[in-house]
Structure 1
Amino acid sequence: MAAKATTDSTRDRLLAAAEQLLLVTGYDSVSVRAICSAAGLNPAAVHYHFGSKEALVSAMLEDRLAPVWGDVLADVERRRREGWVPTAADLVDAVLEPLAGLAADPVGRLRLHLLARVLLSGRRMHWRSPWFGLDPWVELLRAARPDLTGEQASARWVLAFQLLLQVFGNPAAPAPPPPRIPLAAVRSFVTAGLDAP
């Protein structure tokens, strides 16, 4: 049990150090060596515990952001098992509600900014939760719109998530300001894109 606690503690130290460095200087400026040094650990600690910088960043973002969506997504899954058929607007609300909450908080905005910078750069990330990938979202959109192929539903979600990351993460800004586009306008636009004929 002590070995697991030490491993968890080491992982937590690496996650915290990575988050602090990434939020201040950005993905490209942070090295694995700098993360290990900031955590007070051996230079090989990131590779031992995560395998790569990308896997560490994925774990950190997932660790910080997954709980924000946890209740909403658990409710979506539960309702779906009970036979509920979502609308495109329901799906947009499931994504937007947590995004709006994060964007209202300075640390949340920084995390969204980092997420946007990493994902919109085209980097392949290693997510553990299926909700960080497209498959569950594609399945839900196809339940709402059975006329869409998987490819069409996937393309719509890619465009929707890219827009949402631009609006809420503002990856081109040096520091993320609060979103300037009214939430109702974002909701209407994304819903229309997902639900278009």
Structure 2
Amino acid sequence: MNDDLSTRQKLLTVAERLLLESGFDAVSVRAINAAAGMNPASVHYHFGSKEALVAALLEDRLGPIWRERLDTALARRREGWMPSIAELIDVVVDPLAELAADPVGRLRLNLLARVVLGGREQAWSAQWFVFDPWVELLLAVRPELSEREAAGRWGLAFTLILEYFGDPLSATPRDRHIPVTTLKSFVAAGLVQQ
């Protein structure tokens, strides 16, 4: 592994530990650099900003949970497959439910929810962290929607999903007493409602 990649990975690992322990607002770039034993400008050199480091971290740790499922759904759609709303929701929710079953996964979801729902602009580079592929799939099911309305519906759906799994108002996610099936029903109603 070259030095730049190992430095980036070290910064991501240290940042994740600090962010999961203390939360986004309590962790400074200076603290990340110091805990990694790096030059005070390392985060800015390798990522540009704390926000870009967090986006890279979340994409690195959470991206793989959606990547295969979303890529498969998009490939199937391009071959003519017509997804159902339930299938689209499963692509989004099932990997998060699996992640929420693991204590570290729950903390990662909490960080994702706090960052995204906190209104912080992120420099996402992976397609599974932006609306475009999700809009494309929803429009296959609901072609009468405009792209803007499909994006708006997904925005509301992802807000509810992140609130459910990430519990952004809490320092750590609490156990939910509402079943995942109920969450899926609410999301389905919002995506299909006329």
Specify the code of the residue in structure 1 equivalent to 2:3. T
Equivalent residues of 1:11, 1:49 under 8 A apart: yes
Equivalent residues of 1:116, 1:169 under 8 A apart: yes
TM-superposed CA distance for 1:34, in Å, is 0.4
Give the match for residue 73 of structure 1.
Answer: 70
Give the match for residue 33 of structure 1.
Answer: 30
Specify the code of the residue in structure 2 equivalent to 1:103. A
2:147 aligned with 1:150, yes or no? yes
2:60 aligned with 1:63, yes or no? yes
Equivalent residues of 1:103, 1:179 under 8 A apart: no
Give the Cα–Cα distance (whole angstroms) in 2 for the partners of residues 185 and 12 of structure 1.
38
1:17-56, CA deviations, whole angstroms, 9 ceiling, x for partnerless residues?
1101101111111110100111110010001100011000
Give the Cα–Cα distance (whole angstroms) in 1 for the partners of residues 115 and 171 of structure 2.
14
Equivalent residues of 2:110, 2:168 under 8 A apart: yes
Give the Cα–Cα distance (whole angstroms) in 2 for the partners of residues 16 and 25 of structure 1.
14
TM-superposed CA distance for 1:174, in Å, is 2.2
2:49 aligned with 1:18, yes or no? no
Give the Cα–Cα distance (whole angstroms) in 1 for the partners of residues 139 and 173 of structure 2.
33
Give the match for residue 128 of structure 1.
Answer: 125
Percent identical pairs in the alignment equals: 58
Give the Cα–Cα distance (whole angstroms) in 2 for the partners of residues 94 and 179 of structure 1.
20
Give the match for residue 183 of structure 1.
Answer: 180
TM-score using structure 1 length = 0.96
Equivalent residues of 1:109, 1:178 under 8 A apart: no
Specify the code of the residue in structure 2 equivalent to 1:28. D
Give the Cα–Cα distance (whole angstroms) in 2 for the partners of residues 83 and 5 of structure 1.
42
Structure 2: which 5+ runs fail to align?
A: none
Equivalent residues of 1:103, 1:178 under 8 A apart: no
Give the Cα–Cα distance (whole angstroms) in 1 for the partners of residues 51 and 169 of structure 2.
20
2:94 to 90, 93, 97: 97
Specify the code of the residue in structure 2 equivalent to 1:114. L
Equivalent residues of 2:74, 2:137 under 8 A apart: no
Give the match for residue 40 of structure 2.
Answer: 43
1:154-189, CA deviations, whole angstroms, 9 ceiling, x for partnerless residues?
110010000001100001112112332101101111
Specify the code of the residue in structure 1 equivalent to 2:182. A
Give the Cα–Cα distance (whole angstroms) in 1 for the partners of residues 78 and 150 of structure 2.
20
**For 1:153-172, what aligned pairs fall within 5 Å after superposition?**
153-172=150-169
TM-superposed CA distance for 1:16, in Å, is 0.5
Give the Cα–Cα distance (whole angstroms) in 2 for the partners of residues 156 and 77 of structure 1.
19
Comparing 114-123 with 77-86, greater Cα deviation is found at 77-86
Give the match for residue 85 of structure 2.
Answer: 88
Matched positions, count: 194
TM-superposed CA distance for 1:80, in Å, is 1.2
